[in-house]
Amino acid sequence: MFASHAISSQGSSLLEMEILDSNELALRLKVKESWVIEQSKRSRTSDPIPVFRLGKHRRYRWGSPEMNDWLARRVGGTTTSRKTWS
């Protein structure tokens, strides 16, 4: 984990936000790091993971409104069901 920052939202309550790299985000989401990187590219998906750059490095704001909204869309979204054999 890189850093944890307290951020004021329009002078009201403080919320914690962590800055993660792609490996740390992959661990939190329980996916491969390559998936996180692919899903962060605007050209690869219609709903990319919110990302910002520090130089050439991708970073993710865990706990940010953008990340929370993205996660909510993913959790609430439909998935293709796989056929199960009995």
Residue pLDDT, tens place only, 12-50:
334 578 999 999 999 999 999 999 999 999 888 899 999
In a domain, 9, yes or no: yes
Percent pLDDT > 90 in the chain is 60
Residue-level pLDDT at 76: 80
| Helix or strand (DSSP H, E) at 14 | strand 14-20
Q: Which residue segment(s) compose the domain that 20 sits in?
A: 3-65
- pTM (whole model) above 0.85: no
In a domain, 77, yes or no: no
Name residues whose C-beta falls within 8 Å of residue 57's C-beta, 6 or more positions apart in sequence.
Answer: 21
Q: Which two tokens stand for residue 22?
A: 């792609």
In a domain, 71, yes or no: no
